[in-house]
Amino acid sequence: MGIWMITVCVLFVLVQLFQWFQGFMLPFPLYLLAGAFLAIASNYEKGLTALLKQIHTTSDSSQ
């Protein structure tokens, strides 16, 4: 009997969470900020090394 109660309660909570997520709307600017953050985070290593190389080559050419 206890297993049935736990199963029913867990299923109820999952259905309620699913319905809440369906009604949850994020504003467009938040999507833009999240996309920009993901782009920066995914290219951080690549962009940082390219920037350091560019700074190093410009400092060598100015001497």
Band (pLDDT 50/70/90 cuts) for residue 9 is very high
Whether residue 63 is predicted with pLDDT greater than 60 in this model: the reply is: no
Residue 55 clears pLDDT 80, i.e. is over it: no
Place of tokens 């920009």: 36
d(CA 39, CA 33): 10
Domain span at residue 35 reads 2-61
Q: How many domains does the chain have?
A: 1
Single pTM value for the model = 0.40
Share of the chain above pLDDT 90, in %: 24
pLDDT band at 59 (very low <50, low <70, confident <90, very high): low
> Tens digit of pLDDT for each residue in 13-22?
999 999 888 8
Tokens of 14: 């999952």
